[in-house]
Structure 1
Amino acid sequence: MKKAAGIVIGVISIWLLISSLYFYDGSRYEISKYEGKYWLHDDVRAFTIEKDGQSLQWDRRYIYSYGKSGFVIIDKKDNMLRVLFDRKTDEFQKNSMTTQEKRFPEYLQIISFSDMNEREKNIYHTLQNTSGTYKW
């Protein structure tokens, strides 16, 4: 019985270690779950970028989020947020993001659709048409 419990604990420990290495890239941005909803945070600025977002996609350098804040492009290497507001963007989030842009213009930019490259536009359309909570 003790041997089986030790094996189970060992397997769980290895799984936790591997999953933490896979998802943590040393970035200041964190995706977490709180009260059943996924949140996107900037740990350095202590700023919630998105809460209860609609959809999310990421690669080694960028995080793309579409939700109440609009379409958010996070450049993890340059620590830069770019935000596109659209007709679905929540007014409270617009005000919050606009305030953050005024406080930290080197960190956050409000952009227009024409400011995005083709890849970003394609991701925007994909995430905009994805319904439900974050896709994992």
Structure 2
Amino acid sequence: MPTIYSIDALSTGAGRDGHVTTSDGMVDLEMRAPKELGGSGEGFNPEQLFAAGYAACFHSALNSVARQRKIQLTDATVGARVELVSVDDGLQLAVHLEVVIPTQPHDVAQELADEAHQLCPYSNATRGNIQVTITVTDD
């Protein structure tokens, strides 16, 4: 497969209580474990970054699917909630996506979200590995 885009990230310090940077300099963040994990919560954590990335990526996939179907999306939003859950052998992520397309009938919005889930690179990376639920709401 030909690579379309590549970026490198480096974590230094102590992981969740360290620092991350990307090779292009666009990300340069102090990382801190959330209070729920015994940290200070005074920095970013991996789950926040994953939620932001998944929401943006899925929203792009949604717009791409809509363009292919010649549907204009205005005021559409995608929210992502990432949860760190306890499982028998450690911790795992779970993702809940909320898609809102107020300008489309619910059945059309659901079709667009389902198609976007097949297209989105985050969805493809997580499929079969973690629980991802998608809820389409009208507002």
Q: Structure 2-normalised TM-score?
A: 0.30
Structure-1-length-normalised TM-score: 0.30
